Amino acid sequence: MLDFASYGAARIKPKALLYQGNEKMLKARRVLLATLLSLIASGTLAADDPAPPPGAVPPEDPPTYVGARTRIGLGYQSRDQLRGEFYHLLTEDKSSALIGEGWVAGRDGRYGAGLKLSYQWLPETQAKFGASVRKAFLAVDQNLWHDRKLSVGGGLENEAYFFGGYLSGGITGRREISAIASSVTDTLQGVDGGRPYLQDFTTTTTVRTFERPYDYGLGLRLGTFVEPALLRITGGLDQEWGRGDARQTTGSVALEKFFYNSPISVALVGEYFRKSGQYETERDDHRVSLVLRYELGGKAHRPIRESKVVRVETPAPAVAEPAAAPVAQAAQPRVEKRAVKVTATMAADAFFKFDSAQLTDDAKKALSDVIATLRNNKYEGSIVLTGHTCDIGADDYNLRLSMRRAMAVKKYLNEIGSIGLEVLVAEGRGEANPRFANTKATRHKNRRVDLEFVTYTEKLEDVILPADPVVARPAAPAVKREPIVEWRREYLDTEPAWVRRALHNTLPHKQAVDVYRQQEKETTVSEGPRRYLNRPPGAANDSYA
């Protein structure tokens, strides 16, 4: 028997499944559409995010040289020698670097060469401000005649200068360069058994000349990196001693010129040396090398200080339009919350000594008052610390001095006031923004640090109404004003560029292996054969018996 109910259900079921499938597809389409709309909305919002107008953002710090991972060089050295150089960072982390270097120079099938291993580090326990990078190295150098010396030394480098010293000593013996012999022959006459004879005696003197590397030496290096010119200047003095009265004094100057955002640099090294010693034939001479270098394996330049552009909005107070007539209502107090931009100035006479970034006792007392103000009032955004100087001194030095003053205030607010470093933003403007004329009378007022922050204050006031209230229309609503927008460049609390440059810059040393002369005399006497002489005939009287 055919069950029509079951048959109908059987016919309807596939349609229900089809409907459910379509519903799932529609739901998936809705999710996809919502996702697309969200992406479009986010893209639109990102596109609508206003960019800072031209000139509204302070310029970024200019790029400076820090050095790449690998450097090669090719150039000329005195006495017609072709010179090649190689530099490579073997290992590196945030506070240390292990560096390998090599050089080779030669002519006429002879080659001099050298290898150097340097380790440079920034102590973890040292304070961040005023830190110095330590340097140590070991080098072996060889000249064209395979004379070798060993050099061991170390030094320091900070933001302003670098210096170091090293000891050196010859590790090969003497080598003979000439042997000159001279002979003198004397003829002597003698009598042997009544027979006269002649005999030659020859005296031979041989003078042998040797050269050997100086037995030990002492070298000093002092230099600086001129930031605006991207120029490294190094001066050196070396004193070497040999046996007897042999010694040599060498003075050197090295210039390394780098170019903005370029992997190419040029190095010029000049040396003048003077020898003293009994057997020296050349008393003084000089050497010059000029090398073109190319860096690869990463960027060799980066901004002096890392920064980012931030958009700071300061809420503007609401302004009410004037009412046509007084409002007829009871007098009552009114509380208004206002945003106030607070600027404090740390003057140099009270807070810093001339040409110093060390906080005085008066400075610490004033900063303690600022800390109390910040604790008692709510503030928004960052606290900007801007250091300034007067016009005395070079621009680059004043820029660094103003930054050190701002960093000194930042350090004090963090350590004493427990204000987070992420809130404190230090920047230096040097002598760029004087508040007073740079004259003898007011110049000192420009040696200052400005503190800027936004705080909210609540003002309670009573609204005074007329004695006889009159019917008047309600007061006009307050007009909401657009917030005050300011674009700032916030400097990040990252590693200064000079630290990375100091970790990459090895301490220079005297690579040339100079030699001194020694002489030895050897005397030998040789005897020739005897030449007997015939005796002259003699007459004798005849005898008879």
Q: What is the pLDDT of residues 516-533, one digit of tens each?
A: 999 999 999 999 898 888
Q: Which amino acid is at 174?
A: R
Provide the pLDDT for residue 7. 37
Q: What is the pLDDT of residues 384-394, one digit of tens each?
A: 888 888 888 88
**Which pair of structure tokens corresponds to residue 463?**
């609204």
Q: What is the pLDDT of residues 217-261, one digit of tens each?
A: 999 999 999 988 999 999 999 999 999 999 999 999 999 999 989
Band of the pLDDT at 337, cuts 50, 70, 90?
low
Q: Return the minimum-mean-pLDDT range out of 28-42, 125-139, 448-462.
A: 28-42
CA 270/CA 292 separation, integer angstroms: 15
Closest CA to 225 of 87, 435, 400, 423: 400
Range 530-545 average pLDDT: 73
Range 464-469 average pLDDT: 54
Pairing of strands 307-314, 484-491: antiparallel
Res 340 pLDDT > 90: no
Closest CA to 481 of 319, 323, 341, 335: 319
Closest CA to 419 of 386, 455, 383: 383
**Higher-confidence position of 18 and 76:** 76
**Higher-confidence position of 385 and 324:** 385
CA 494/CA 94 separation, integer angstroms: 11
Paired residues of 319 in beta bridges = 479
Band of the pLDDT at 91, cuts 50, 70, 90?
very high
List, as own/partner pairs, every contact residues 155-160 make where C-beta atoms lie below 8 angstroms and the sequence separation is at least 24, other chains included.
Answer: 155/221, 155/507, 156/132, 157/132, 157/133, 157/502, 157/505, 158/130, 158/131, 158/132, 158/133, 158/498, 158/502, 159/400, 159/496, 159/498, 160/224
Band of the pLDDT at 334, cuts 50, 70, 90?
low
Provide the pLDDT for residue 322. 57
**Which pair of structure tokens corresponds to residue 296?**
């690869």
- Highest mean pLDDT pick, 2-6, 102-106, 303-307, 405-409: 102-106
Reading phi first (left if > 0) and then psi (alpha if -120 to 50, else beta), residue 368 is in alpha
Q: How many CB atoms lie within 10 A of CB 169?
A: 15
Band of the pLDDT at 545, cuts 50, 70, 90?
low
Q: Which amino acid is at 495?
A: E
Closest CA to 157 of 408, 495, 506: 506
Res 39 pLDDT > 50: no
Provide the pLDDT for residue 451. 81
Res 2 pLDDT > 60: no
Provide the pLDDT for residue 319. 59
CA 506/CA 100 separation, integer angstroms: 10
CA 304/CA 67 separation, integer angstroms: 13
> Residues of the chain with pLDDT > 90: what percent?
42
Closest CA to 293 of 248, 338, 259: 259
| Residue 162 buriedness (CB in 10 A; 0-12 / 13-18 / 19+) | buried
CA 122/CA 440 separation, integer angstroms: 42
Q: Return the minimum-mean-pLDDT range out of 19-23, 234-238, 358-362.
A: 19-23
Res 44 pLDDT > 50: no
Closest CA to 485 of 315, 364, 322, 235: 315
Is residue 318 within 8 Å of residue 478, measured between CB atoms? Answer: yes
Closest CA to 83 of 223, 267, 296, 274: 267
Is residue 98 within 8 Å of residue 88, measured between CB atoms? Answer: no
Range 263-271 average pLDDT: 97
Res 157 pLDDT > 70: yes
Domains, the chain, ordered by start:
64-300+499-523 (2.40.160.160), 307-319+326-493 (3.30.1330.60)
Strand locations in 171-246 (E): 175-192, 195-213, 216-226, 231-241
CA 430/CA 77 separation, integer angstroms: 42
Q: What is the pLDDT of residues 60-89, one digit of tens each?
A: 778 899 999 999 999 999 887 899 999 999
Instruction: Please report which residue ranges of 418-515 form alpha helices under DSSP H.
Output: 497-504
Provide the pLDDT for residue 293. 97
Provide the pLDDT for residue 16. 42
Mean per-residue pLDDT over the chain, rounded: 80
CA 153/CA 115 separation, integer angstroms: 14
Res 141 pLDDT > 90: yes
**Which pair of structure tokens corresponds to residue 444?**
């000192």
Provide the pLDDT for residue 78. 87
Q: Which residues of 294-331 are buried (b: 16+ CB within 10 A; e: fewer)?
A: ebeeeebbbebbbbeeeebeeeeeeeeeeeeeeeeeee
Is residue 491 within 8 Å of residue 425, measured between CB atoms? Answer: yes
Q: Cα dihedral angle (335, 341, 344, 345), rounded to 10 degrees?
A: -150
13 backbone dihedrals φ, ψ, rounded to 5°: -60, -45
- Highest mean pLDDT pick, 181-185, 235-239, 241-245, 404-408: 235-239
Provide the pLDDT for residue 62. 81
Q: What is the pLDDT of residues 415-429, one digit of tens each?
A: 888 888 888 888 888
Q: What is the pLDDT of residues 290-319, one digit of tens each?
A: 999 999 988 899 888 777 777 777 776 655
